[in-house]
Amino acid sequence: MTELVFTKQKNINTLNDIHEYHGLWSWVTSVDHKQIGIMYIGTGLIFLLIAALLALVIRIQLMVPMNHFVSQSAYNQIFTMHGTTMVFFMGMPILLGMTVYLEPLMIGARDMAFPRLNAFAYWIFLFGALLLYFSFMGGGAPSAGWFAYPPLTEKAFLFDPGTTYWALSLLLVGVGSVATAINIIVTAFTLRAPGMSMNRIPLFLWMMVIDSFLIIFALPGLNAALVMILFDRLLHTHFFAPNFGGSALLWQHLFWFFGHPEVYILIMPGWGAVSEVIPVFCRKVIYGAGFMAASTVAIGFLSMGVWVHHMFATGLDNTTLYVFAFTSMLIAIPTGVKVWNWLATMWGGSIRFTTAMLFATAFVLQFTIGGLTGVAFAAVPIDWQLTDTYFVVAHFHYVLLGGLVFALISGFYYWYPKVTGRMLSETIGKWHFWLSVVGFNGTFFVLHILGLLGMPRRVWTYPRGMHGWAELNMFSSICSFILVFSFFLFAYNLVYSFFKGKIAGPNPWSAWTLEWATTSPPPPENFDSLPAVNSRRPLWDLTHEPDERVAGIGGQPA
């Protein structure tokens, strides 16, 4: 039997067996990428539950026409906090946390390139996020939506400090994101194990490196916009105040220069996780790995040049509209390559429908639906008709919830055994999956129709007698209870399995990337030695004859 665990300590089965991790102090002072990763993900999950509850309040308010479940101003605060939380406090920390946890393990390193910067980035994120939630007590939460369009966000229109909290909080969180992005890139470039060339690192990391470049170049757009709105509010400058010659449109340009790459920043880790999960559970090498990596690079470049498609309704000239409609549609090609590759990987594989694989499969379907409505939006006339309706809400929830969150959950079921040493319960997992699928599609599919019927997003309520509105909203709201319940079931599974789950062992899925070549959970030093890395599947090579091995990215024999 070939040795498959490359650590000196072999008797680590749960986090409890690692005495370095005992006690709160070891976590607060930690610069260990695994502890920081766990804290990142844990914080993100707590914010996920908070934001899911906020969403539930929105759905209850919209359940029946002329409802008074919450007040108008509370409603505005709730949907703003829901959006901001989901994007900045759930999506970003979970995807950064997963990468921070997995990257050194996947490339056979001891830790990240800058461990202290890593800890700094987590803590500044945490306190930045808490600052925004403090605004509920400090005079009112922000209430201008997650993209905070001026002039509404100018002090003349929103006098309460909510928007100021919002801008300050996102500046802090943004600093943390850029710091971690730099860390991720430098780690991937400098700390790879011998033999681990760039074309042998797992696709998850490929996508996260591209993702980090996007963070580095997109976040400054947001930071500049935030600084300007802060100055407008605190120093009485006039960047976005049209009555002083300022330009509200400038905010939209700056914000969406960040905002559009941001949605790719959010979805890329999802693609990455699914690209690791699908091959393992189909027992096949991923189809077209080179195309997978290259299409991510293409999307990275294109995503920096499409931001105006969020602004089609602002009266820009036709040339601008056509150019940005064209670039937006172009993105469908590399994205289609990805969907094709995932399907081709499943094709003819011996698929094992574990919960992770179920979520990955649902991801492919739902992400495709979200992608198709996205292409529809790139067509200017469709956008003019549907912009700021519930069709938009349906579109981005299909991409970010049906896409990203499903992919992340797939990744959780896949990597949870590595992180905690215990398997997530598959029984609860199957329930979780079916409730999620029913709840998600029930809640959001009908929103497409509501959008087509003309229901604007962000309305507090709607009149009686609108054709179909009451019925569809009621249906959506009922399903949203199922969806939110499924999230709490997931949280229960995470906690329950942490104490009672089956012991996983080093490599429960017979996977082949390096993170499975150490104990579950890995000891603080990760590895004491490393297997020879001769391909993208080092663990496969250890147990198989050379003629069964596969080529590297780009087709060269690896």
Partner 1 sequence: MSKALQGMLLFIASEATFFLMLVMSYVNFHKVIHFSAESYLDPLKTGMFSIALFASSFTMWCAENSFKKQNRGWLRFWLAITIILGTIFIAGQGIEYADLIEHHITISRDLFGTTFFTLTGFHGLHVIIGLLLLLSLLGLCTFGRKIEPTSGGMHCIAYYWHFVDVVWVFIFSVVYLWRYV
Contact 95, 211 (CB under 8 A): yes
CB of 178 to partner 1, least distance (A): 5
Q: Does 228 bind partner 1 (CB under 8 A)?
A: yes
Q: Does 248 bind partner 1 (CB under 8 A)?
A: no
Amino acid at 165: Y
Q: Does 243 bind partner 1 (CB under 8 A)?
A: no
Tell me which of 182, 294, 330, 449 binds partner 1, using CB under 8 A: 182
In the complex, the smallest distance separating the C-beta of residue 237 from partner 1, rounded to whole angstroms, is 4
Is 153 near partner 1 (CB under 8 A)? no
Name the one range near partner 1 by CB under 8 A: 85-93, 157-165, 231-239, 294-302.
Answer: 231-239
Kindly write down the DSSP assignment for every residue of 162-180, as one continuous string: HHHHHHHHHHHHHHHHHHH
**Residue 325 beta carbon to partner 1: minimum distance, rounded to whole angstroms:** 22
Does an H or E element contain 151, and which?
Answer: none
Per CB under 8 A, which region of 77-85, 96-104, 177-185, 445-453 contacts partner 1? 177-185
Dihedral of the alpha carbons of 392, 397, 402, 404, in degrees to the nearest 10: 110
Footprint on residues 200-219 left by partner 1 (CB under 8 A): 216-217, 219
> Binding residue for partner 1 (CB under 8 A) from 4, 50, 70, 227?
227
Residue 353 CB coordination number (10 Å): 12
- Residue 416, sorted as left (phi over 0), alpha (psi -120 to 50) or beta, turns out to be alpha
Asked if residue 190 binds partner 1 (CB under 8 A), the reply is yes
SS (H, E, C) 480-525: HHHHHHHHHHHHHHHHHHHHHCCECCCCCCCCCCHHHHCCCCCCCC
Number of residues counted as binding partner 1 (CB under 8 A): 34
Which run of H or of E encompasses 39? helix 33-61
Residue selected from 36, 178, 302, 450 as contacting partner 1 according to rule CB under 8 A: 178
Helices 248-282 and 203-234 pack at an angle, to 10 degrees, of 160
Provide the minimum distance between the beta carbon of 517 and partner 1 in the complex, in angstroms, as a whole number: 24
224 binds partner 1 (CB under 8 A): yes
**Cβ 304 to partner 1 shortest distance, Å:** 10
Instruction: Report whether 512 contacts 106 (CB < 8 A).
Output: no
Tokens 């102090």, located at residue: 25
Does the footprint of partner 1 cover residue 340 (CB under 8 A)?
no
Q: Please answer whether residues 156 and 232 qualify as being in contact, where contact means their C-beta atoms are separated by less than 8 angstroms.
A: no
Smallest separation (angstroms) from partner 1 to the CB of 180: 11
Identify residues 94-113 at the interface with partner 1 (CB under 8 A): 113
User: Tokens 């490359």 correspond to what residue?
Assistant: 6
Q: Does 38 bind partner 1 (CB under 8 A)?
A: no
257 binds partner 1 (CB under 8 A): yes
Question: How open is the CA angle 482-488-490, to the nearest 5 degrees?
Answer: 105
Contact flag: residue 79 with partner 1 (CB under 8 A): no
CA 555 to chain centre: 30
Residues contributing to the site for partner 1 (CB under 8 A): 113-114, 117, 178, 181-183, 185-186, 189-190, 216-217, 219-221, 223-225, 227-228, 231, 235-239, 244-247, 250, 254, 257
